[in-house]
Amino acid sequence: MNWVTIGLQIIWGLFAWLSFVVAVICALLIAILVPGKERRQRLAALACRVVFVLPRIEVSAVGLERLPAESCVVVANHASYIDGVLLKGYLPSRFNFVIKGEMRNIPIAHFLLRRAGARFVARDQHAASARDARQIVKAAQVGESLALFPEGTFRAEPGVGRFRPGAFVAAVRGNMPVVPVAISGTRYMLPAGRLLPRRIALRFEVLPAIRPNDPHFSDSRALAETARRRILEVLDEPALSAGPEDSAGAASN
């Protein structure tokens, strides 16, 4: 690789970050000025698309027609900081994201996410985690569509870790379809520990929904493993037996 190529990659990476800053500014203005949760959600999704449109990143969204018309729970593999922005930008705006509770400690991010309809789940404090989980279950029971990354975090090494059962408990109690989504390309674009993104086409595929009449719906852990297995069938990545909290070098999103 020659210096010209390296220089062009650096320039593109800096421009990609500039696009992200523009999107954050737009999202902040939307959160402050726009009334109405649904309107804010639609505009926040457009702001997220700016992150990909301005630097001309090719995004393939496959299978969106498979999303149930009714409320459902979308679960996706997690490989990069980009994943949440990608799904927020290209999934229908009715989906509210479930975010790790640590984001409450970052005031601007917490404000933006909360105003865009995100929900938060604590991971380290048992009482807070149980309270947040009950709120997520309640949201599912009243028909709120949710999207989350059940691995809980991501790591540098390729692979899909075990899925935590919380999202699937919410789906079972809310009698809502679970929709697996397979994301590819983001790990290469911006892996854990990398500062500048690489330019690569991104893809996410919405897989067939697991309906409440599926036999796996009787057990939230079996349901979680079924969703994980379907994602692995699409991705060219291995199944990881260790949970994210047990993996060395894990990065939080």
pLDDT tens track of the chain, all 253 residues?
Answer: 688 888 999 999 999 999 999 998 998 898 888 888 888 889 999 999 999 999 999 999 999 999 999 889 999 999 998 999 999 999 998 898 887 766 677 777 777 777 777 777 765 544 445 566 677 777 777 778 889 999 988 888 889 999 988 888 888 888 889 999 999 999 999 988 889 999 999 999 999 999 999 998 888 899 999 999 999 999 989 998 754 444 333 333 4
CA distances from 239 to 26, 43, 230 (A): 38, 36, 11
CB 177 within 8 A of CB 216: no
CB 92 within 8 A of CB 117: no
Query: Angle 139-172-63 (CA atoms, 0-180°, nearest 5)?
Result: 85
Number of structural domains found in the chain: 1
HEC profile of 188-213: HHCCCCCCCCCCCCEEEEECCCECCC
Rounded distance, CA 13 to CA 196, Å? 5
Is 253 within the bounds of a domain?
no
Is 37 within the bounds of a domain?
yes
Single-letter residue type at 5? T
Rounded distance, CA 13 to CA 18, Å? 9
H helical segments located in 117-219 = 126-141, 166-174, 186-189
Token readout for 240 is: 């990881």
Is 214 within the bounds of a domain?
yes
Of 50, 87, 64, nearest to 184 by C-alpha is 87
Domain containing residue 16: CATH number: 3.40.1130
Is 251 within the bounds of a domain?
no
Residue-number span of the structural domain to which 242 is assigned:
3-246
pTM, entire model = 0.85
Is 126 within the bounds of a domain?
yes
Parallel, antiparallel or unpaired: strands 202-206 and 178-184: antiparallel
Is 11 within the bounds of a domain?
yes
CA distances from 17 to 10, 60, 82 (A): 11, 21, 11
Under 8 Å CB-to-CB from 31, ≥6 apart: which residues?
A: 40, 44, 111, 112, 115, 116
Please state the separation of Cα 231 from the chain's center in Å. 14
